[in-house]
Amino acid sequence: MGDNKSGMKNRSLHLGLTCLFAASIVVSVAPARAQGFAPPSGAIGDYHAKLAVYEQVHGAYEAQASAYWDAISEKRRTRNGKRRDHLPIGLDDYVPTQPPVYSGPPRPVDPRAPTPPPPERPEIPVVADFLKNAAEQFGFVPDRPASDLEFKRAYARIALAAGLTREQIVGVYAFETGGNGVYDSQAGLVPYRPGARAISPAVGYNQLLSTNTVSLLAEDGNRYLAVLRQKAKALSGPAKLTMERKIEGLKRMIAYSRSVPNRWSEHDRLAKTTLGGFGIHAAVLDIDLGPLLQVQKLTDSVRFARTKGYMAPLTAAELELMNLTGDGNGFDMVTMPQGLRARVPTANFFQQQGYERNPVARRTGVVANLIADIESKISHGAQAQGARDLATAF
């Protein structure tokens, strides 16, 4: 009995020491993991060897890419100067080759480095954010239509009054929305899919950016106020009071858009980083202002072409080209001789980051293919019900 008790004590002691030893391992390993796992020495050497190869290959690519995009900028300045002096522009005024593409090894991961957290994707404001901040920041509540067809009719009426054609308006709409967008459609959410996320603050029939809205109010706000005041004169009772409140809200929005220098970069910062900038974009949803703003964006492109001496009517694809790439770049492509379009890379009309973010420009490669792609999308989208409804609104 005594031996049995002694054995039990020994086993208990052994078990206790084992548990204590295991606990000490857990305690000692935990701080080690917190401080970073020490990789085998061979892994460090392998990492440095791969890093040296990467830096050599990627460094050569960066030098080549830098020279390429510097040449793009220099050629653009040359073309602008020639255009001002009414001199002919030829193939030598463009970079004729495609941009370099990195095809070397990826940057190796340092085995000593802690695992980085997944990159945070900034939230893009959506229609609910625009409405909320318009009310809170400016006391502005857009007058939203009873139906999308009502908005389409208002849009068509204002477009015709501004000198735009049904072909132009329906074509831009078909390209930008696929032919089925509604007045409050936002990029990335058309067509809506479960779990879809906005990819841009662009909203409406021609996908007006929030920066566009800020710029338009800053530059043409007084004209929009005059339109609303004229409408208010024909109203009475509650409808007149609602319009007067909208006018006061718009005045505050215009003042805010003019609180920064009249430059695209400043308007972009205001639109994307401030609550007031979010709120201003709600004007696109208003049945009185939304059509005005979207039509103004397109008529500005038409006016730009005319000031450059281009008096021929812009086709829907040409107008969309200017809407998509900016007036200066779009006009450069619109006026390019047919013989050059198949030879000039689309990279000539972008900054490096913009080109790398634009899958259409990369995929189409040259100007002729980009224009053909736009025409194809317009033709396809024009068959959709939304595009047919917009055409009927004219």
Q: Is the pLDDT of residue 279 over 80?
A: yes
pLDDT value of position 56: 94
Contact status, residue 320 vs residue 378, Cβ threshold 8 Å: yes
pLDDT value of position 121: 67
Q: Is the pLDDT of residue 24 over 70?
A: no
pLDDT value of position 118: 78
At residue 153 the predicted structure's pLDDT band, cuts being 50, 70 and 90, is very high
| CA dihedral over 336, 338, 343, 349, signed as positive or negative | positive
**Percent of the chain with pLDDT strictly greater than 70:** 89
At residue 12 the predicted structure's pLDDT band, cuts being 50, 70 and 90, is very low
DSSP, residue by residue, 171-182:
HHHHHHHTT---
For the segment 332-353, the average pLDDT, to the nearest whole number, is: 93
Higher pLDDT, 38 or 196: 196
Higher pLDDT, 37 or 284: 284
pLDDT value of position 13: 34
pLDDT value of position 123: 85
* pLDDT tens profile 89-124: 999 999 999 999 999 999 999 988 888 787 776 789
**Percent of the chain with pLDDT strictly greater than 90:** 75
For the segment 359-382, the average pLDDT, to the nearest whole number, is: 95
Beta bridge partners of 186: 203
pLDDT value of position 195: 79
Tokens matching residue 111: 């085995």
Tell me 281's DSSP state.
G
For the segment 197-226, the average pLDDT, to the nearest whole number, is: 94
pLDDT value of position 4: 42
| CA dihedral over 41, 43, 44, 45, signed as positive or negative | positive
Higher pLDDT, 269 or 43: 269
| Gap between the Cα atoms of 155 and 164, Å rounded | 11
pLDDT value of position 19: 38
Q: Is the pLDDT of residue 7 over 80?
A: no
What does pTM read for this prediction? 0.80
Q: What residue has token string 């039990």?
A: 8
Q: Is the pLDDT of residue 27 over 70?
A: no
Tell me 203's DSSP state.
B
At residue 37 the predicted structure's pLDDT band, cuts being 50, 70 and 90, is low
Mean pLDDT of the chain: 88
| Gap between the Cα atoms of 108 and 53, Å rounded | 10
pLDDT value of position 44: 87
| Gap between the Cα atoms of 294 and 288, Å rounded | 11
Least confident residue range of 109-118, 127-136, 169-178, 256-265: 109-118
Q: Is the pLDDT of residue 175 over 90?
A: yes
Contact status, residue 328 vs residue 341, Cβ threshold 8 Å: no
Beta bridge partners of 345: 366
Beta bridge partners of 208: 203
**Residues 170, 176, 177, CA angle at the centre, nearest 5°?**
85
* pLDDT tens profile 177-211: 999 999 999 988 877 777 788 888 999 999 999 99
**Which residue intervals of the chain are DSSP H helices?**
2-35, 41-84, 127-138, 148-161, 166-177, 210-233, 237-257, 264-273, 275-280, 289-307, 316-325, 327-334, 338-341, 352-356, 359-364, 367-381, 385-393
